[in-house]
Amino acid sequence: MEAINRDSECSLVENYDTLYVEANGNKLDYLVYNKGVEKELAFKDVHHDIANIFIYQATIGVLSKLDNGSKRLYLDKYSVKKKALEELYTKYSSLGLGIMFHFITLNRKQYFMYTDNEDISDTDAEEFIYIIGTPLDHDKNLLGEHFAIFNLKNNFDINTIIDDHAFRDIYCNYKKSDLFRIVSDYRMPDKPSDGVFYPWEDINKIMSETNSQGNLYDEIEFIIGEVPNYKYILDFFRRNPKYGLDENRYREAYAKEEKRITILGRYVPEELGIRRNFFDMGSLYP
């Protein structure tokens, strides 16, 4: 996954020519290791703890700015059945490079219209941050078909397409909204994240992931996170000396990324006693 940063102007980018589309997977892979143990094994333990640092940082950081009692301007999680990813992969993987997930604003009426859900009890807010998926073609252009994939009740219909005109209106309304201003002000002087990009190779890897018993997971939960101060990451490893970290490469990946909003994935159902359900730690490429 790669983070996409945009300016505050209401202009939908048509061509993501600067995207780095090679599927690198989890950004802690090969940077973190258990001393005396194979790196691949250690990595599956430590990323659970790092993920929670990202999630906690969002709670006390950007999300605290979007919280006004019951009128929380975001959802606690954004869920998607593996079947939904499979449908998108089957239809679009041969047509392009991957899928772009935009942070946007949906009001309650739009949420009901595009998700086919009957209620939204996660928040009393009239509009809130949501995530819309758009496939890209082989030239890194938006294909013009957009999907509200992350439905609270997992009701996804690949035929429920948000047309290009409606999506542009939604996108521009978000760029003019108080939510975007709050996120932008919190992130300044660096640019806020406009969204994240997943190559189809990464989507296929997510679909193929199995639990410790060799069974496929049922669904994915995406949770809003925030890139914490690099010092907190170093403190974690200093308190856990059994782990090694390639500090130089990870520090380089962190350059100008602190306070950036991102999304972290978690495989569901979670296994008791297993600490490997999180993936994609903040979209930080080494």
Residue-averaged pLDDT of the chain: 80
Structural domain contains residue 97: yes
Kindly state whether residue 241 falls inside one of the protein's structural domains.
yes
Q: Say if residue 238 is exposed, middle or buried (CB neighbours under 10 Å; 0-12, 13-18, 19+).
A: exposed
Please report whether residue 284 resides in a domain.
Answer: no
User: What are the tens digits of pLDDT across the range 226-276?
Assistant: 888 888 888 988 888 878 778 887 777 777 778 888 888 888 887 776 666
The answer to whether position 41 is within a domain reads: yes
Task: Look at residue 166 and tell me if it is in a domain.
Answer: yes
> Does residue 269 lie within any of the structural domains?
yes
Question: What's the total number of domains in the chain?
Answer: 1
pTM of the model: 0.83
Domain that holds residue 14: 2-279
226 in a structural domain: yes
Share of the chain above pLDDT 70, in %: 78
In a domain, 63, yes or no: yes
Contact 244, 34 (CB under 8 A): yes
| pLDDT at 91 (0 to 100) | 95
